[in-house]
Structure 1
C-alpha cells in the first residue's frame, strides 16, 4: 500500500517547516515501515492476552460487550462494541485490501498475468489444503473450516520487513499479492459459509446502492463524503441481508476507479498558468493569483487516481487503529480455561502450520509446471517454501472468521489455537528465511520490477 511521502523529500528542502514538523517528521517515517504496523498489532494482542488472564478479565470482557448505538423508529442500530469493530470498522480493512488488489491488477506487477496466476494459485492452495486438513481432524468443529483459510497480511509482510534488504523484491511482492488474494477469498468464505438466512429485499437494495455508486463515478462525482454516505447505506442493507456486511468494503474497493482526473500533461499546463499569473508585471490581481494556486492545489490532488487517494488516506487508520482495536477486542484467550486436548486447537495448528505452506507450495509448483504461471527471478523454490510458512499466520483474519464460526463456549480454544499457530508460523518462516538468505547477495526491496524466469 502507498505510504505517506516524506514531508521534505530530496530536492524540496526549500519548503518551509511547520512548527511541529520536528515532531511529526520522525513519526511519518516511523509509520511508513511495515514492521512497525506488525509490531503495533502484536502489542495489541499481548495487551489483550494480559488483560484476559489478569484480575481485570471480567471488566475487560464487559468493556467490549458494552452495547452502543441508537434506535431510530423501528430500526435498531445497537450492538456490542466488539460487534461494531468486527462488522463496522473491519469493513474499512477489507475496503483497503480491495483497493490494493485493484491497483496491483490495473497498475502494478499483477498486470503480468502469469505472475498474478502464481499468486492466485498459491492463495488457492493455501485455502484448500488447510481447509481439507481441518475437516479431517476437527471432529464436531468441522463447520469452522473457514478459520484456517486466511492469512494476516500485516503480520506476513511485517515479518519480511524485519529481514530488510535480505529479501528479494519478487518474494515480497509474491507474499503481499498472495495475502491479498487470500483475504478476498476469506471474505467470500464468510459470505458463502457463515451467512444466516438471505433477505432478498435487502440484497435488492444493495444492488441499487452499488449501481448508484457506479453511476456517480461515471458522472464524475468526486466528493468523498457523498460516497461515504452511499457506502453507509449499502453497509446497512448488506447487514440486513443475512450476509456479512464487510462485503461492502470488498465491493466498493473493487469498483473504485483507477483513472486520474488530471493527467500529467494537464497538471503541467495548470502549474505553468499559475506560475505565469504569479510573475510580477502580468497585471493579474492578488485574488486571481491565489485562485490560480488554488486550482493548482486541486489539480495535484486530482492527479492521483481515487484508488491511490483513498489508499493513502485510509491505510494509516486501518494499520494503526482498526486492526489493533480488533486485536484488543478479539485476541484475548483465557489460558487457564484452555483445553489442550481439544481437537479445535490441534486441527487449527496443523492446518495453519503445515497445511498452509504445503498448499501454497504444491499449487504454485503445479501452476508453473502446467504453464499457467511463471516464477519470477529471485524467487527460488526454497524461498517460496519459506514464504509459505508465513502464510500460516492467520491471526486477524482467522480470529475474525472464528467469531462467526464458533459458539461462545468453543471460542476460547479457537483463539488459543490461532495464536499458537500464528506464533509458530512466524518464528519458523523468519528462521527459515534467515538461513536461506544468510549468504545471499539479494537485491534491495526497492530494486524495481520483477522479471520472469523459465520453470
Structure 2
C-alpha cells in the first residue's frame, strides 16, 4: 500500500489495479484529438477497399439486411444501413447540439462579437458552396444535391489541426471548432427542411408532447438518466413517423440539455466534511449513518458537473470511436470507376468543397469584421485561409445528406466527389498551414 513521507497509508487516492498499467496509457492515447480522425480514416479506406474487391457484393449486401420490429399494424423495419444513419447518427447530432449549447452558454460563442466571426464564416461556408453547386447543376438530375457541399467534417478538420500541434495558435482551433459546430447545425436544418417527407401532424404532436414532458421533468427536478432515455426514444419514434428526419430529435434534446450545475463546490465540500465527521464503524453492512453520507457524497460529486458536461464526457468516446466509424464503414463504400471522375455531379461537389468553402469563409469573415465582429490578434488572415481550405473536408455529413439527396444511379458520383474534395482540401490545407507557420517561426 502506498505511503506518504510520514509513513502513513495514502487513502487520498483510488486503489491501484494491475490493469491500470494498460488502461492509463490507452486513456492518454485516446485523448489525442487526431485519433478519432485516424479511426474514421481507417474505416473509410477499408470500406472503399472492400467495395472494390471480389467481396464487394457481399460487403455492400450486408448493410441492406432488414432489421426491426413490428407491433400490430406499426412496423419499424429498415435496413441495417438505415438504422445506423437514422438511429445511431442521432447520438452524433445530439452531441453536436450539446456542444453548441455549451459554446453558446459557456464557451467562445457567448461573446456576441466573437461568435459573429465564427457564425458569419460558417454561413459563408454554407451559402457559397451551395450556390456554386447549383450553378453547375442547374436543370440537371443532380440539382437536388445542393445540401451535400454545405457541411465541414469536424473530426477530420480537428484531426488535421492536431497534426500541426503547437505550430498554430489555439484561437484557430477554437475558430474552426465553432465554425464546424455551426456548420453542422446548418446542415441539420437543411436535412429537416430540404430533405424531409410529407408531414404527419399527429406524429409531430406526439413529439411535441414528448419534448414538453422532458422539459417538465427537468423543471420538477427529475434526474434519472433512464427516464430521460425512455422519453428520448419515444420522441425519436414520433419524429421518425412524422416525416421529419429522425435525427432532428437528437438536436432538439441536445439543445434542451441543462448547462448549469445542481451542486456547487461549496455544497460538495460541506457534504464531504460530513463524510469525514462520521468515520466507518463496525456496524456491518447495514444502512448506517456513514454509508448514507457516502451515498450522499457520491451523488454530490456527480452533480457538481452540469448534465451537458457529463453527457459530453460519457458520450463523446462512443460517438468518435464507434458511431462515426461505423457510419463511414456502412456508407463510404463506393465502386471506383474512371467514368465517374468527369461526372458532372463529382465535379460540382469537388468545386463546391474545394473552392466554395474557402472562398465563402474568407468573404463572410471579411464582411463580419467590417460590421464589427472581433478577431483575435494572433488569428492572421493566412491562418484563416488555411483553415478555410481545411473546411473543404466534408465527409460524414456530406455522405449523410448524399444518401438523402441522390438515388443509387447518382450516389457513387457524389461519393467520389466528396472523397476527392476531402483529400485535396486536407493535403493542400495542411501543406499551406505548414508553410505559413514555418515561415512565421523562422521570422526574427
Aligned length: 428
2:353 corresponds to? 352
Q: Does 1:115 align with 2:114?
A: yes
Give the C-alpha shift of residue 12 in structure 1: 9.9
> Aligned in 2, Cα 1:405/1:16: closer, same or farther, shift over 3 Å?
same
Secondary structure of 1:222's aligned partner: coil
- 1:370-385 equivalent positions in 2, closer than 5 A: 370-371=371-372, 373-385=373-385
Secondary structure of 1:335's aligned partner: coil
Task: Structure 2: state its 5+ residue gaps.
Answer: 1-9
1:79 corresponds to? 78
Q: Does 1:96 align with 2:95?
A: yes
Query: Hey, what's the Cα distance between the residues in 1 that align with 2:175 and 2:132?
Result: 24
2:391 corresponds to? 391
| Contact 2:341-2:416 at 8 Å conserved across structures | no
1:406 corresponds to? 406
Query: Hey, what's the Cα distance between the residues in 2 that align with 1:280 and 1:59?
Result: 64
Query: Hey, what's the Cα distance between the residues in 1 that align with 2:227 and 2:41?
Result: 35
Query: Hey, what's the Cα distance between the residues in 2 that align with 1:85 and 1:338?
Result: 30
* RMSD (CA atoms): 1.8
Q: Does 1:129 align with 2:122?
A: no
2:24 corresponds to? 25
2:252 corresponds to? 251
Q: Does 1:63 align with 2:62?
A: yes
| Contact 1:36-1:158 at 8 Å conserved across structures | yes
Query: Hey, what's the Cα distance between the residues in 2 that align with 1:286 and 1:245?
Result: 45
- The CA deviation string for residues 259-305 of structure 1, in whole angstroms up to 9 with x for no partner, is 11111111110111111212889xxx993223212211211111000
| Contact 2:340-2:416 at 8 Å conserved across structures | no
2:311 corresponds to? 310
Secondary structure of 2:70's aligned partner: strand
2:243 corresponds to? 242
Query: Hey, what's the Cα distance between the residues in 2 that align with 1:256 and 1:335?
Result: 42
| Contact 1:338-1:412 at 8 Å conserved across structures | no
1:296 corresponds to? 297
Secondary structure of 2:78's aligned partner: strand
**Range moving further from structure 2, 200-209 or 143-152:** 200-209
Q: Does 1:154 align with 2:155?
A: yes
| Contact 2:60-2:333 at 8 Å conserved across structures | no
Q: Does 1:416 align with 2:416?
A: yes
| Contact 1:166-1:440 at 8 Å conserved across structures | no
Q: Does 1:187 align with 2:188?
A: yes
- The CA deviation string for residues 236-258 of structure 1, in whole angstroms up to 9 with x for no partner, is 11111111010011100001011
2:204 corresponds to? 203
| Contact 1:387-1:429 at 8 Å conserved across structures | yes
- The CA deviation string for residues 90-120 of structure 1, in whole angstroms up to 9 with x for no partner, is 0000000000011111111221111111110
Query: Hey, what's the Cα distance between the residues in 2 that align with 1:440 and 1:219?
Result: 55
Secondary structure of 1:376's aligned partner: coil
Query: Hey, what's the Cα distance between the residues in 1 that align with 2:201 and 2:218?
Result: 26
Query: Hey, what's the Cα distance between the residues in 2 that align with 1:13 and 1:165?
Result: 35
| Contact 1:338-1:416 at 8 Å conserved across structures | no
Secondary structure of 2:340's aligned partner: coil
Give the C-alpha shift of residue 82 in structure 1: 0.3
> Aligned in 2, Cα 1:13/1:359: closer, same or farther, shift over 3 Å?
farther
Query: Hey, what's the Cα distance between the residues in 2 that align with 1:338 and 1:112?
Result: 49
